[in-house]
Structure 1
Amino acid sequence: MSDPRASVEIDAPLEVVWQVMLDTASYAAWNPFVVGAETAEPPAVGNPIVLHVRWADGSRTTSPERITAIEPPVTDTEGTVTARLSYVYEGWPARLGLVRGTRHQRLTQRPGGPTTYDTVEEFSGPLVRFAGPGRVADGFRRHAEALRSHAERLAP
């Protein structure tokens, strides 16, 4: 299986979507996949972040991560705005070299267009198949759809 991913177009300004993504304390109010995120506020590169994940079957797990990138919105010469949030998995399978994962969440908004949210988990290691890439992809889809709904409700 390829790396788990999801993508959705959001009818809201990129800055609104970005603020929702960085407001980790509010994830429980809208996010059906990452139902909680414990990190220092505001989130910063290098900070640990513990994600409380709810799988589609209702079971839960925690995932210790570390924030590796917070790239606030920037506009290029064509007027396209982009931003990125990334974190790396730090659980015991990662420490043993068995399953490594880095999640990237990218936002892109072309002039006059919707905001595109793309997320991917770049998995590696000999036990990746046991990490449940299929259920991670399902969680990413649920997360993306909920992000769209929440950001569109907040948009001016």
Structure 2
Amino acid sequence: MRIDVEAATQIDAPLDLVWEIMLDTPAYGGWNPFVVRADCPQPPSVGDPITLFVAWAGKEGRTRSPERISVLDHPSTGPDGVTRATLAYVYEGLPARLGLVRGTRYQRLTQAPGEPTAYATVEEFSGPLVRLAAPGRVADGFERHAVALKQRAEHLAG
């Protein structure tokens, strides 16, 4: 079974600034209501572990999610003039090690000349117990994360 959880927003800030915020994991606690802490080597690199401390909405509590960075494509501008960047990490918790729930989260940025930065995130969940990954709670968290990233970047862009 496979379930994808997604969120997206348009951010009125340069892509490079949004990217910088995404990689500044020590600052997450100051702006991110979903990933309230992220422990990761600085600067992050492909293969690095990243431990996410997730706060569910309301009184649903918190959880710790061990991940590993699998994609770190820094901003680059293609021949079409569009700048793109991607950060992805793979879930490494016990359910993943047992083959019960696998997940990869992608966070992608795209900016055409003169346009806002498009932020899109998707978690691709799979495995026989994928429903245990609480896709509804994750979707809510991704929406809160996207809104907060937009607010943070637009505030810093001034």
Q: TM class by shorter-chain length?
A: over 0.9
Equivalence for 1:15: 16
Equivalence for 2:133: 131
What's the CA shift for 1:54? 0.0
In the superposition, the TM-score normalised over structure 1's length comes to: 0.98
Equivalence for 1:27: 28
Deviations 1:107-129 (A, max 9, x none): 00011000000000000000011
Q: Output the aligned Cα RMSD.
A: 1.0
What's the CA shift for 1:78? 1.7
4+ residue stretches of structure 1 with deviation over 2 A? none
Gaps of 5+ in 1: none
- Percent of residue pairs identical: 63
Deviations 1:3-22 (A, max 9, x none): 11100000000000000000
Q: What does 1:4-153 align with in structure 2 at a 5 Å threshold?
A: 4-58=5-59, 59-153=61-155
Secondary structure (helix, strand or coil) at the match of 1:4 reads strand
Deviations 1:92-138 (A, max 9, x none): 00000000000000000011000000000000000011110011010
Q: Structure 1 counterpart of 2:41, which letter?
A: A
| Count of aligned pairs | 156
Structure 2: how far apart are the matches of 1:114 and 1:68?
Answer: 26
Structure 1: how far apart are the matches of 2:55 and 2:11?
Answer: 23
Secondary structure (helix, strand or coil) at the match of 1:56 reads coil
In the superposition, the TM-score normalised over structure 2's length comes to: 0.96
Gaps of 5+ in 2: none
